[in-house]
């Protein structure tokens, strides 16, 4: 059912926009393209954007699932380890210097990888993971980054401020080709679904999982780097889109999907559809003005999650 929702959300994302198209036009444009404005809008503008949005949401949701298993903490989300903070600091620094899109992306990537390396180096000592230290290091590092980001925002000239705010709130209008992100998304889903039995066992705690025969150290390292890379790829596409990585897995759990064999693929489809739809809202509601998609992920997601939480089990 989620696969149908996912396809429908992509179709919806292609359907709506400044240039109004009918369902038939979009269908023809997608499957029987003839050169012209419809084909250009569908294939060059809306589909790439929708695909980027979907990949971004899928990666964030997958990263959330992996980190919630790794840290055994329901509050874990893709940004808890300081990755988005590092990326944002890099991007904002580049924007402050007046850099173009390519250099901004490079700076964001450098910042994100730097944050991953720092957190890993500080929390992994002599072959032993200390998950409390991992969590606290990530949180402390995030706090440091957010202070530096505030400083950058205060010092930034008025002209660059809006671009910076969009970056921070999550924005897909500058998302480029999402091929790499899709490859990474497919790898993450395939690998960790294949190891879903190990993820299920790890939810019992590291000691118990080892007693059952799980190679816990290797699994934790794989979870950390899998989640980190997924987050980096998502942040490179859409900036810091909040709420998806934390809430999509929880919404599915509250709906009764708990086994990681189903939870991980379902989260990816759910997260992808969610961001694709939110992005469609973001670029159509106030058209031609585009709004940051991060605002809509929260505005759409909060009521849904509050409803699920208030339901009787």
**Which residues in this chain contact other proteins in the complex, by CB under 8 A?**
194-198, 200-201, 203-205, 207-208, 210-216, 253, 258-259, 261
Task: Using the minimum distance from each CB to other proteins, give the nearer residue, 1 or 126.
Answer: 126
Task: Using the minimum distance from each CB to other proteins, give the nearer residue, 26 or 264.
Answer: 264
CB of 250 to other proteins, least distance (A): 12
CB of 1 to other proteins, least distance (A): 20
CB of 164 to other proteins, least distance (A): 40
Q: What is the phi/psi pair of residue 129, to 5°?
A: -85, 130
Task: Using the minimum distance from each CB to other proteins, give the nearer residue, 108 or 248.
Answer: 248
Task: Report the 3 state secondary structure along 48-75.
Answer: HHHHHHHHHHHHHHHHHHHHHHHHCCCC
Give the separation between CA 120 and CA 59, rounded to whole angstroms: 20
Task: Using the minimum distance from each CB to other proteins, give the nearer residue, 84 or 267.
Answer: 267
Q: Are 80 and 138 in contact (CB under 8 A)?
A: yes
* 171 CB-near residues (< 8 Å, 6+ apart): 238, 239, 290, 292, 293, 294
CB of 265 to other proteins, least distance (A): 13
Tokens read off for 272? 């992808």
Task: Using the minimum distance from each CB to other proteins, give the nearer residue, 19 or 259.
Answer: 259
DSSP code for 240: -
Location of structure tokens 């695909």: 51
Location of structure tokens 């990681």: 260
Note the helical H segments in the chain: 2-15, 23-31, 37-39, 47-71, 83-96, 101-123, 131-155, 158-169, 179-194, 196-202, 206-211, 216-238, 244-254, 260-284, 293-310
CB of 132 to other proteins, least distance (A): 15
Task: Using the minimum distance from each CB to other proteins, give the nearer residue, 44 or 125.
Answer: 125
Give the separation between CA 35 and CA 308, rounded to whole angstroms: 46
CB of 200 to other proteins, least distance (A): 6
CB of 201 to other proteins, least distance (A): 5
Task: Using the minimum distance from each CB to other proteins, give the nearer residue, 145 or 195.
Answer: 195
* 148 CB-near residues (< 8 Å, 6+ apart): 89
């Amino acid at each position: 059912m989620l696969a149908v929702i996912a396809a429908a959300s992509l179709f919806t994302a292609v359907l709506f926009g400044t240039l109004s198209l009918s369902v038939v036009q979009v269908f023809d444009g997608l499957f029987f393209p003839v050169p012209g404005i419809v084909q250009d809008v569908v294939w060059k503008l809306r589909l790439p954007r929708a695909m980027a949005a979907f990949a971004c949401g899928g990666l964030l949701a997958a990263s959330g699932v992996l980190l919630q298993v790794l840290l055994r903490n329901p509050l874990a989300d893709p940004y808890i380890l300081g990755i988005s903070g590092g990326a944002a600091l890099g991007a904002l620094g580049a924007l402050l210097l007046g850099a173009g899109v390519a250099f901004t992306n490079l700076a964001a990537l450098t910042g994100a990888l730097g944050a991953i390396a720092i957190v890993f180096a500080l929390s992994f000592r002599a072959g032993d993971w200390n998950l409390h230290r991992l969590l606290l290091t990530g949180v402390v590092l995030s706090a440091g980054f957010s202070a530096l980001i505030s400083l950058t925002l205060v010092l930034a000239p008025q002209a660059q401020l809006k671009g910076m705010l969009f970056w921070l709130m999550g924005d897909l209008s500058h998302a480029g080709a999402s091929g790499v992100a899709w490859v990474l998304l497919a790898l993450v889903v395939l690998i960790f679904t294949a190891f879903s039995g190990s993820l299920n066992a790890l939810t019992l705690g590291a000691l118990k999982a080892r007693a059952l025969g799980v190679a816990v150290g290797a699994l934790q390292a794989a979870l950390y780097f899998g989640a980190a890379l997924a987050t980096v790829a998502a942040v490179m596409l859409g900036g810091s889109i909040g709420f998806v990585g934390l809430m999509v897995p929880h919404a599915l759990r509250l709906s009764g999907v708990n086994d990681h064999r189903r939870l991980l693929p379902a989260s990816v489809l759910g997260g992808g559809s969610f961001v694709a739809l939110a992005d469609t809202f973001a670029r159509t509601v106030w058209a031609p003005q585009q709004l940051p998609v991060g605002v809509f992920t929260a505005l759409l997601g909060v009521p849904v999650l509050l409803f699920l939480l208030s339901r009787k089990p």
